[in-house]
Each structure stands twice: as structure tokens, then as C-alpha cells.
Amino acid sequence: MVILTLNCGSSSAKYQVYDWDAKDILAVGIVEKVTIGGSFINHKVKGREEITIEHDCPSHTDAVDLIIRTLTDSKTGVIGDMGLIKAVGHRVVHGGDKFTKSVIVDDAVMATLEEVKDLGPLHNPANIMGIEAAKKVLPKVPHCAVMDTAWHQTMPPESFLYAVPYEWYEKYSARRYGFHGTSFLYTAKRAAVLLGKDPFQTNLIICHLGNGSSVNAVKDGCSFDTSMGVTPLEGLVMGTRSGDTDPAMPFYVMRKTGMSAADMENALNKKSGLLGITGKYTDRRDIQKAKLDGDKRSLLAQDMEAHRVKKYIGAYQAVLGRVDALVFTAGVGEFAWFIREKILDGLEGIGIAYDPDANKTACTRNTESVISKPGSKIPIYIIPTDEELVMTEDAYALMAGTYDVHTKFSYSFQKKDYVNKGRAEGLAEELRKKPELEKYIAKPR
């Protein structure tokens, strides 16, 4: 039995193929430049070299069709026919306040996603197109929407409301929603395993750091507060997004420059953040290299990014009271030791002390690591996220009729003996090259 997961962006379609019976990933890949010309698919099958195939995809339907043909092709494929695909899980960035958990897509769900589309104008239209395209190509299997916002529906009103006229919330659903929920769900459950605690007696601060970044305060195993807001623009300094700013500043600049509302929205989402400060870069590796070469604006960008994360860690420690662990995840959180270093420097006063050698060594997606000093009041974990596995398990459980909201549902990765086969194989190879990583592997208590 195969579960397919899809994550469709405005010009891309990312996928994973999971063998449910073997509990193993068969293939992953992405179709790039969908709708804009020059499309191609990067396709990686376990045990084989990655391949690239050029193929024009003027629509998301064409992209999904290309994925299916690549997966079933006698040379590039991993499955004999489409009949082996029993469910499809779709990432949906914004579900508004309408969904507290993943759902099987029907006409009512599609209508609701259209209804809240304005809340996620940069992401939801592509997510919806992806679902519609996949349903055309695979019409006989259940399609499941996995919402980034669902995890955060446990936030209390004091966390999710803004101090603006209350009717804005009543009439227009203007409130904090939060994102990266699938990643936070996975890392929160895994952190509880590492701590040896009941997940619903666990308090965490989780930093999901990537091109888009956010921090989540988890109280008693549920989302209590988060840095992103109505949209993914609020909060941390990101690749191209400004994060927190004075709401009056855009109006000031618009008056000075004559920029339109659309121009300003584009500038805050696509021309700000690290790109806005450096003028060149969004990739932290490029910024690190430029900083070491003496680029002062790259140094400034790094300092600003770390400063903002540090502020949220302190704020969330205050609202949680007790913090059982600090967690880093996602691409930057997992690999950019120099960003983690800047964030963690000086936090000893609030009980967070890191080991510099551990921090530099533990840069891997193949294992969970601990980088806190012995005796640190609060342990620091690096937990590689696995959003696709959450999507896969949600889709399977929805198909089987066993699924429920996460407070009433248990995932395979919540077991103490859970093993990700692909990562375990990768770790064995990595340890041959970097044996010093061994002593920083996090093990369940």
C-alpha cells in the first residue's frame, strides 16, 4: 500500500511516496517552474542516483500527471500502477479557524478553503490548485488536507487575539493563526519521547528556522502561542519576510514613496528580511561566507535574525513558566550551527547553556541531537522535522477511519523504539565519516 503526499506551491509540486507496509520512503522529488515555462522534475528513488527530466508543465494538473508517470514508469518508477496509491495527503498552509485537524477533502471542505483563501493569498491558491489537479489525476482515492494552522487551534484568546477593534475578529476572522503546525506537531511529540514525559505534561519552546521561520510555545503538549500571525509575515526575521515591524511604518513609507498597498505587501513579503538587509542573500550559508569576508550588512543580518529569535525564547519562557526543553528544527535550525550559536550565546542566565563543540558537530538530518551542556537546567535538542510523515499518517488514518485530533490520536513516532529507516541508514554512513557525532545523539530518557 502506497501513500502519496503533495505540497504544491505557486510554481512547484513537491512529493513523497511512502510504502505503508514496509514503513519506508520509496521516492521523493519536486517539479519546478510549473506554469512559468522550462519545467523539470527532480526525482530521487531510494538506492538510486537522483535524476532530472525536463517536461513542460503549464498547469498543476500537468505537474501531478508528470509525477504519476515518473512514479509508474518502467525505468524511473517505484510502483507498478496507480492502483497501489490508496490515499493522497496535501499540505494546506491556511485553514483559518475552520479546521482543528486534518480532513478528507469533499465539496464542503473545498468551499471552506476557497472561503479562507484571502487569509493565505501567497499559499492557498496553489494548495487548492494542487488538490484539484491531483483529484483529476487520481479521482478514486481519498484526498486529505493537512492544515498548517490546525495545530495552533488550541491557543487561548489572549494568545490569538490582537488588541484591535473586536469586530474585526467577529466579522473578518482577523486573529493570530500560526503556521508550521505539522512540523511543530512532529517535533513536540518527539521531544516528549526524548524527555521520557507524557506529551501532555510537556512544555517546550520550538524554533522552526528555515526560509520561513517561527517559534512555538507548547504548553502541556498543545500550542499555546506562536510568532506568526494572520499570515506567515509576522514574527521572526526570515529569508524575504520582515517579521515584526511597527504597523505604522508601512503607511509612513507609502506616504513618502507613493507605494500602493499591493506594492507594500510585496515588499514586506518578498523584498525584506535577510534579503532586505543584505541586499543580496537569503541563504544563511551565503550570508555566513559574506560575513567572514567582511560584509558588514551580512553580519548585521545575522545579528538581527538571532536577536529576534532570542527575544521570543525569553518571552515564551515567561508565558510558559516551566520549560522542559528548547528545540531547533527545519533547515536552518538543523544545520546552521553559526545561527544557533548566536541565538544561544548569553542564555545561561535563564537556564539554557549550550556546548559549543556539540553545536558545531550536530548538523545532520539523520538523527536527533542534544547540544546542551551537562547540568543545563533546560536541555537543548535538535530534532529534524518530518512533516511528510505526519501527512502520511494522517492520510492513512483518515482513509482507515481511525484518525482524530492529536490530543486523541497517537502517531508511530511517539513510540520509544521508533526508527526512521532512511535516516538510520544515513546515520550509519555519516558516523563512518564523522564518528564524533555519536556522543551527541539524543536518546530517550
- Write out the catalytic residue numbers: 148
Q: Residue 341 and residue 155: Cα distance in Å, rounded?
A: 30
- Could you tell me the three cell numbers for 295? 560584509
Closest CA relative to residue 161, chosen from 150, 172, 151: 172
Q: What is the SS3 assignment for 273? A: helix
Give the type of residue at 282: T
Residue carrying C-alpha cell 522534475: 41
State the Cα angle at 369 between 366 and 370, rounded to 5°. Answer: 180
List the grid coordinates of 369: 541531537
Residue 435 to residue 364: CA distance in whole angstroms: 13
Residue among 109, 121, 9, 113 nearest 57 (CA):
9
Cell numbers at 139, concatenated: 479521482
Report CA-CA distances (Å) from 392 to 42, 43, 190, 320: 21, 19, 17, 31
Residue with cell 505587501: 265
Distance CA 49, CA 43 (A): 9
Task: Determine how many CB atoms are found less than 10 A away from the CB of residue 357.
Answer: 12
Identify whether the C-beta of residue 371 lies closer than 8 Å to the C-beta of residue 384: no
Using CA of residue 313, residue 317, residue 320, residue 323, what is the dihedral sign? positive
> Which one-letter DSSP state was computed for residue 414?
G
Residue the block writes with cell 515591524: 245
Helix, strand, coil percent values for the chain (each to nearest 5)? 45, 20, 40
How many CB atoms are located within 10 Å of the residue 38 CB? Answer: 9
Q: Using alpha carbons only, what angle is made at residue 268 by residues 263 and 270, rounded to the nearest 5 degrees?
A: 85
Say if residues 178 and 168 touch (Cβ distance below 8 Å). no
What type of residue is 249? M
CB 342 within 8 A of CB 416: no
